[in-house]
Amino acid sequence: MIASMPGIKTNVIKKLHLTFALSVIAFIMACSLSSLQAQIKKTSIHFFPQARIFRLDAADVSYVFGINEKNQIQTLYWGQRLSSEDAFSTPQSSAEISSFDPSINTTPLEYVAWGGGLYVEPDLKITFPDGNRDLTLVYVTHTIEGNHLTVSLKDISREVYVQLHYQIDEATGVLRRSVKVQNKTSSSLKIEQIASATVNLPRAGDYQVHYLTGRWAGEWNLQTQKIQPGKLTLESRRGTTSAQNNPWFAIDRGSNDPENGDVWFGALGWSGSWRINVEQDQAQQVRITAGLNPFDFGYLLHAGETLKTPFFYAGYSHKGIGEASRLLHRFEVNTLLPHAPSPKLRPVLYNSWEATGFDVDEAGQERLAEKAASIGIERFVVDDGWFGQRANDKAGLGDWYVNPKKFPHGLKPLIDKVHSLGMDFGLWIEPEMINPDSDLYRKHPDWVLNFPGRPRTEARNQLVLNLARPDVRDYVFHFIDQLLNGNQIAFLKWDYNRNWSEPGWPAVDIEKQKKVYVAFTNNLYSILKELREKHPHVEIESCSGGGSRVDLGIMRYTDEVWPSDNTDAFDRLSIQDGFTYAYSPAVMMAWVTDSPTWVNHRTLSLEYRFLSSMQGSLGVGANLNKWQPEDFAKAKKMIAQYKSIREIVQRGSLYRLVSPQNDSEHSVTETVSEQRDSSVTFAFLHSSTMMYPFPRIYLRGLSPDKMYKIESLDGKLSAATPSLASGSFWMEHGVDVDLRGDFQAALFRLNAINQ
């Protein structure tokens, strides 16, 4: 076009051509530079060789560490995302405080072995066959492949290699860390302690830590305490995760605002004995070390062998503990669960346990199935009692054949019936357990965890099969595989009703026996993995007498978890509140059961019980044979209501507006849909005193400028509530619900209107 312009000389035209071409090149370069910058803004792992710095950035988080002058790996920063322009200089180890606290203790290290005068918690402790117990790890090399960084360390003189693995999740900034130890020496060594990671917080003295404690039927209590000089140990020595402590923590700067302020959080993905230490050391450095529990531990690593630790997940939020939970929920649903990033919404299930106990049989279950189908149940689950000689908890575990008296024609007629009613079929199993009164135990008394000549302590009349043994592993895999091959089963409720005692493994050499702590859990995972590969349509629930095996390790292989055997709808408010600090409502099964409950004889209305359970993944566990027509009508209506909001509840962003653990009279949760175009709010009044009205509810997470219609699904809104208002109005002015009396509840929904 330029060339054809009249009156312009050719060399001028050439010049113009050149200028044009140059500006196109400059434009392209600028574009690719800015797209490079955009890429760096997205998710990146970089090594800056001159400064010897590693930098991981994703979502709102930056994590920076480097190689110091002693070739140690030193933490530099973990917190809100920094500019890509921000540069760090080569780390320098910290000075000793005094002759009593040498530099190795005062330098915030990413992974430190016991050796060289270390007094803070070591990540790794090894005894060599010559009696040497000193280990000093230094940087050797590293690799970056996609979003995976591996930093290799080695002892200063021995051929022991430690690889530190890092991954950062693009959407949440959640870091996944683990370690692989390789024994390249020519002899065996004994690992006496091994963590997956240490994370260091910015030096400060005003931290408080939150963690979860509990017991059977009383799980998920949130504890909060100031971090002071010394050490807080959260752990399980029980062989499995346990409800006593859950492997999760969150740390903030003493803020009481759940939606503001810095929060660092972490969770260990391990379903065996574990330990998390939160330590404030001599130099006021707070460091968190998470990994296998060193109690009764000793892992013999032969020449040429490697040991991999579980994954430790660590995240940061600058929007309070509320956002910290939401990040974890998002990470679980989008990255961790077996069908991530798009796990199926949980179907509404019926489970017969509280209705029938061990008295399951074909006719009784069919009767319940008909009733369950009539209210909109989508999955029918037969619980304990269908197999072996299982009349009560004294016999049968281990004998996984269908009880011929209870189901004379096998499970098929019942399964066909369940299918004909439009539901899928689920079955309870407890694969790792055995009753001494079972054919399996009579045949294989050596298959349980035991120390020869010592008592075998029973709990609920059962012993623990030693899943570390290859023959036991095969037996367990094959009976489940056969069960799934022979029956159209869509769902397994995988139970585990006691912890370990006498954890001996006499079948192997003495020095290998303590490997049971690792081999048991790894075999459990490998069975679950293999079953899932062979039977991709089967879903699995992790249950351990309630919430004793809920962790990010088992959740990689299971679709949902059972938080507690306590199904009292009021107690559940606290249980569910605690649970959601760490785990998503998308996996949190919650049944509506009978009233008064077996737990505490409390009487609650059916609406209240439904509203309590509808905050998670809804199930029904009541004895439908005792229900009246009006109960069926109400249940049918509420299940339909739940289905209309389930996507919001299971996929949305949860705001614990009023926690039942902090406020004895009320509790409120709100969940906002992913697109922020709807929300559902559950409000509970525990008891009315002195005629105080229900406190105004200030919603969160809406778009301030969008207009939302409010709809009451259950309970009453105050008469003055407008039917349409902006997100700002609902968040700043708030909503009044009209609740009076004891144990009352309400549910309302907001829907954005198209503008």
- Give catalytic residue positions: 495, 565
Write down the least CB distance from residue 437 to ligand DGJ, Å.
15
For ligand DGJ, which stretch binds (CB under 6 A), given 277-285, 538-546, 663-671, 746-754?
538-546
CB 492 within 8 A of CB 532: no
- Answer yes or no whether residue 384 interacts with ligand DGJ by CB under 6 A: yes
- Answer yes or no whether residue 462 interacts with ligand DGJ by CB under 6 A: no
Tokens of 535: 């039977």
Task: In whole angstroms, give the CA distance from residue 535 to residue 527.
Answer: 12
* Long-range Cβ contact pairs of 43-51 (< 8 A, separation 24 or more): 43/147, 43/168, 43/170, 45/144, 45/147, 45/148, 45/149, 45/166, 45/168, 46/144, 47/142, 47/144, 48/87, 48/88, 50/90, 51/87, 51/88, 51/89, 51/90
Listed in order, strand segments (DSSP E) in 507-652 are: 539-542, 560-561, 589-592, 617-620
What does DSSP say about strands 678-685 and 666-672: parallel, antiparallel, or unpaired?
antiparallel
- Answer yes or no whether residue 169 interacts with ligand DGJ by CB under 6 A: no
Please tell me what DSSP assigns to residue 624: G
**Partners of 194 in beta bridges:** 124
- Answer yes or no whether residue 562 interacts with ligand DGJ by CB under 6 A: yes
Q: Is 676 left (phi over 0), alpha (psi -120 to 50) or beta?
A: left
Q: Of 428, 356, 456, 437, which is closest to residue 398 (Cα–Cα)?
A: 437
Nearest to ligand DGJ of 315, 385 (CB atom): 385
Judged by CB under 6 A, which of 219, 495, 551, 714 binds ligand DGJ? 495
Judged by CB under 6 A, which of 403, 497, 542, 613 binds ligand DGJ? 497
- Answer yes or no whether residue 543 interacts with ligand DGJ by CB under 6 A: yes
Write down the least CB distance from residue 246 to ligand DGJ, Å.
16
Nearest to ligand DGJ of 239, 546 (CB atom): 546
Nearest to ligand DGJ of 483, 699 (CB atom): 483
Task: In whole angstroms, give the CA distance from residue 612 to residue 293.
Answer: 36
Write down the least CB distance from residue 621 to ligand DGJ, Å.
8
- Answer yes or no whether residue 545 interacts with ligand DGJ by CB under 6 A: yes
CB 266 within 8 A of CB 323: no
Q: Of 476, 473, 578, 572, which is closest to residue 520 (Cα–Cα)?
A: 473
Tokens of 65: 């560490």
- Answer yes or no whether residue 155 interacts with ligand DGJ by CB under 6 A: no
Write down the least CB distance from residue 338 to ligand DGJ, Å.
21
Nearest to ligand DGJ of 560, 670 (CB atom): 560
Task: In whole angstroms, give the CA distance from residue 596 to residue 607.
Answer: 14
How many CB atoms lie under 10 A from the CB of residue 638?
A: 25
- Answer yes or no whether residue 523 interacts with ligand DGJ by CB under 6 A: no
- Answer yes or no whether residue 387 interacts with ligand DGJ by CB under 6 A: no
DSSP per residue over 222-268, as a string?
A: EEEEE--SEEEEEEE-SSS--SSEEEEEEEESS---TTSB-EEEEEE
What is the total count of residues that contact ligand DGJ (CB under 6 A)? Answer: 11
Judged by CB under 6 A, which of 110, 281, 332, 565 binds ligand DGJ? 565
Amino acid at 394: K
- Answer yes or no whether residue 557 interacts with ligand DGJ by CB under 6 A: no
Judged by CB under 6 A, which of 128, 428, 525, 557 binds ligand DGJ? 428
Task: In whole angstroms, give the CA distance from residue 145 to residue 3.
Answer: 49
Nearest to ligand DGJ of 428, 447 (CB atom): 428
Residue whose beta carbon is closest to ligand DGJ: 384
**Partners of 618 in beta bridges:** 590
Nearest to ligand DGJ of 57, 384 (CB atom): 384
Task: In whole angstroms, give the CA distance from residue 650 to residue 617.
Answer: 7
Task: In whole angstroms, give the CA distance from residue 406 to residue 423.
Answer: 21
- Answer yes or no whether residue 383 interacts with ligand DGJ by CB under 6 A: yes
Spell out, one character per residue from 325 to 354, where the chain touches ligand DGJ: x when CB under 6 A holds, - when not: ----------------------------x-
- Answer yes or no whether residue 541 interacts with ligand DGJ by CB under 6 A: no
Write down the least CB distance from residue 87 to ligand DGJ, Å.
54
Tokens of 467: 């899943």
Q: Residue with structure tokens 């299918």?
A: 419
Write down the least CB distance from residue 497 to ligand DGJ, Å.
5
- Answer yes or no whether residue 560 interacts with ligand DGJ by CB under 6 A: no
Write down the least CB distance from residue 239 to ligand DGJ, Å.
17
- Answer yes or no whether residue 258 interacts with ligand DGJ by CB under 6 A: no
For ligand DGJ, which stretch binds (CB under 6 A), given 221-229, 445-453, 540-548, 623-631?
540-548
Nearest to ligand DGJ of 243, 415 (CB atom): 243
Nearest to ligand DGJ of 248, 591 (CB atom): 591
Write down the least CB distance from residue 281 to ligand DGJ, Å.
41
Q: Angle formed by the axes of helices 629-651 and 362-374, to 10°?
A: 70
**Residue 314 Cα distances to 169, 171, 266, angstroms:** 10, 14, 4
For ligand DGJ, which stretch binds (CB under 6 A), given 126-134, 342-350, 542-550, 695-703?
542-550
How many CB atoms lie under 10 A from the CB of residue 671?
A: 22
Judged by CB under 6 A, which of 396, 398, 546, 727 binds ligand DGJ? 546
Q: Residue with structure tokens 């020519």?
A: 186
Nearest to ligand DGJ of 297, 387 (CB atom): 387
Task: In whole angstroms, give the CA distance from residue 235 to residue 244.
Answer: 8
Write down the least CB distance from residue 546 to ligand DGJ, Å.
5
Nearest to ligand DGJ of 151, 465 (CB atom): 465
For ligand DGJ, which stretch binds (CB under 6 A), given 26-34, 55-63, 539-547, 623-631?
539-547
For ligand DGJ, which stretch binds (CB under 6 A), given 118-126, 169-177, 359-367, 543-551?
543-551
- Answer yes or no whether residue 589 interacts with ligand DGJ by CB under 6 A: no
**What are the residues binding ligand DGJ (CB under 6 A)?**
353, 383-384, 428, 495, 497, 543, 545-546, 562, 565
